[in-house]
Amino acid sequence: MKRLFTLLLVLLSLSASAKSIYSLKVKDANGKEVSLKEYRGQVLLIVNTATQCGFTPQYKELQDIYDRYVKKGFQVLDFPCNQFGQQAPGSMSQIRQFCTEKFHTTFPLFEKIDVNGAQESPLFTLLKKAQPFRGFDLRDRTGQMMDQMLRRQDPRYDKNNDIKWNFTKFLVDAKGQVIRRFEPTESMSSVEEAIKNVLK
């Protein structure tokens, strides 16, 4: 009996670790449920965004990258999140209006979510498990500033895999494997180079 119980635990563990993003559903900006299996076969950059953040201008670079690679099987999936400095206020219609008018975004926009904590999106639970936090580049001034700010709030902030701030990005290959995590301080040229390599 004990051996059977152990086997069941192992199987459950394997099942959980093998969970694919394609098994998940999310809600779009209109509240309509969308299965991520609709994106099977495409390279994805999944981003938690905010409209009033120092990193918000990255929207322009995200749109530029999207324009360059969308016809090659690439998508940006935009998930607003208000957990960091309350920098994504407003309704979904206000967020959509801001993004389209200021940055002319055309990539898919999804419902505002939590990316950490008790109410976090199962998608981001999976992403964080697949690609843990590996720290900021402390050779970079912005990385140093982020590290200092977060360490003041929590001296052990770097000991968990939580999303640390707005515009954290996860790169998913065409088979649904989460292959890279980019902190918001990482250059968009590095992000684009990684996307190009996966699309080859």
Q: Average pLDDT of each block of 10 consecutive residues along the chain (200 residues)? A: 46 49 97 97 98 97 98 98 95 97 98 97 98 96 97 97 98 97 97 96
Query: What six digits make up the tokens of 83?
Result: 């957990």
- The residue assigned the tokens 């002319």 is 104
How many whole angstroms from its chain centre is CA 163? 9
Is residue 99 part of the annotated active site? The answer reads no
pLDDT at 6: 43
CA dihedral 9, 13, 14, 16 (to 10 degrees): 140
Instruction: Output the pLDDT for position 56.
Output: 98
Amino acid at 155: P
User: Which of 42, 4, 36, 38 has its CA nearest to residue 20?
Assistant: 36
Q: What residue ranges define each of the domains in the chain, with the CATH number in brackets?
A: 19-134+164-199 (3.40.30.10)
The active-site residue, picked from 36, 53, 130, 178, is 53
Over residues 79-117, the pLDDT tens digits come to 999 999 999 999 999 999 999 999 999 999 999 999 999
**What pLDDT score was predicted for residue 13?**
39
The 43-49 sheet, strands edge to edge: 74-80, 43-49, 169-172, 178-182
